Amino acid sequence: MHAIRSILVVMEPDRPEGLALKRAKLIAGVTQSHLHLLVCEKKHDHAAYLAELCAGLSEEGYSVSSQQSWLENQYQTIIAAQQAEGCGLVIKQHYPDNPLKKALLTPEDWKLLRYCPAPVLMVKTDTPWTGGNFLAAVDVGNSDSEHRTLHASIVSHCNDMADMAKGQLHVVCAHPSPMLSAADPTFQLKDTIESRYRESCKSFQEQYALSDSQLHIAEGPADVLIPHVASQIKAVVTVLGTVARTGLSGALIGNTAEVVLDALESDVLVLKPQDALEHLEDLVAKR
């Protein structure tokens, strides 16, 4: 998180809350990152609105620039600006989609989470981060090198944010139900499954000095357990990973980050594995 040098902030002139900018200012205040404000709009000219925002931010000591742009849709406009400006983080306010519309069409915010090569922070509340609980969601059942690297990145980013806001880091991991037919005896008993998952999380506990109360391991689907734990500890931010699954498999299965986005009552930061980032950057470059 501290390595971020430029932040893309998606501004929406017709929505006065400005929660995305509020979070961007908090992060930039610690990391000294440049803020690039983007309005995704082609119908109306928002030059005066952006100029006023930039002037105010400059007076407050922030490095800032802005643009108004529109491509085929919002998520492509955001990604094009992120790539052009070299922003290491995208911050956008999230608004829940109509359930019927969501069933028929993939929401724009889901597409942004899938295709954006940079981490995306979806801001959902105006709850202060200071002194809050920050929840890192990992899946240690996937133990290949790519997932191990992603898990380390999730916990590291979450810890950075907790330090930034003088809050507390928590880690959640869902484990599968016991299966008597499982070839590995470990997965035939609940106690042995949980102990195996706790052992896999031991490196996080040691590295970040987590107490047992900061480690939440339980049986159940991740898309149910993560929002439950986040609500239980009143998390202000939940950090998740996504495999950037696209195409038919993405439509049928969905990514946990997408599924829990509306269910979570906290802000949501979504990260991707390194090879997924490189693949997405190649896709963007070919457009």
Among 117, 60, 59, 56, CA closest to 85? 117
Of 62-66, 74-78, 84-88, 243-247, the least confident? 243-247
| Rounded-to-10 torsion of CA 231, 237, 241, 247 | 80
Distance CA 66, CA 79 (A): 15
> What's the average model confidence in pLDDT over 213-230?
92
**Between 165 and 1, where is the model more confident?**
165
pLDDT at residue 47, as a whole number: 95
Closest CA to 122 of 152, 151, 90: 90
State whether residue 255 is helix, strand or coil.
Answer: coil
Domains 6-93 and 133-284 share a fold: yes
208 pLDDT exceeds 80? yes
In this prediction the pTM is 0.87
- Write out the E strands in 125-228: 133-137, 168-175, 215-219
Q: How far apart are CA 13 and CA 83, in angstroms?
A: 23
Q: Which fold has domain 6-93?
A: Rossmann fold (3.40.50)
Each domain of the chain, given as residue ranges in start order, spans 6-93, 133-284
Q: Report the SS3 class of residue 114.
A: helix
Model confidence at 185: pLDDT above 60: no
Residue 171 has pLDDT above 80, yes or no: yes
For 97-111, 218-232, 254-268, which range has the lowest pLDDT when averaged over its residues?
97-111
- Give 249's pLDDT tier (boundaries 50, 70, 90): very low
Does domain 133-284 fall under CATH 3.40.50.12370? My reply is yes
First-to-last C-alpha distance (Å) of the chain:
29
| Alpha carbon distance 237, 170 (integer Å) | 10
